[in-house]
Amino acid sequence: MYRAIDTGLRAIDIRSLTEAAQSLGAGWVTVLARVILPNITVAILSGAFLTFAIVIGEYVLAALLNRPAFGPYMVWMGSNRAYEPAALAVIAFGLTWAAMGVIQLLARRTRPF
């Protein structure tokens, strides 16, 4: 999702569009809602569809292989219990963000070529 939106933002000249809108009297909310968001709508939709396709593909592959995986386990647990799937989802998001933070810290320490 990040890469799709980043590509969409790099494709437009945000600085010029923002300055033009502000010179016409638009505030930040108006600039975001009427200038930037319509220009990156396609990037947001493509990122959402790509994320959806990856998630569905992972779930279907894990379900067809009949191997214990995280996605089918959460679905199975959701059919039997009420609160445990939500707790697992929060833990999974926390682990994902922690892993992304470690990647960012390691990326800062490497020198560019």
Alpha carbon distances (Å) from 70 to 7, 60, 87, 91: 30, 12, 13, 12
More confident call, 21 vs 72: 21
Q: What is the mean pLDDT of the chain?
A: 86
For residues 59 and 72, state if they share a domain: no
Last residue of a domain, which of 31, 52, 67? 67
73-77, 84-88, 102-106, range with the lowest pLDDT: 73-77
Find tokens 């890469």 and name the residue. Answer: 3
Assess whether pLDDT exceeds 60 at residue 113.
no
For residues 87 and 54, state if they share a domain: no
Residue 75's pLDDT band (boundaries 50, 70, 90)?
confident
pLDDT of residue 85: 83
Alpha-carbon 89 to chain mean position: 15
For residues 57 and 17, state if they share a domain: yes
Q: Structural domain tally of the chain?
A: 2
For residues 13 and 40, state if they share a domain: yes
Which domain range does residue 49 map to?
Answer: 1-67
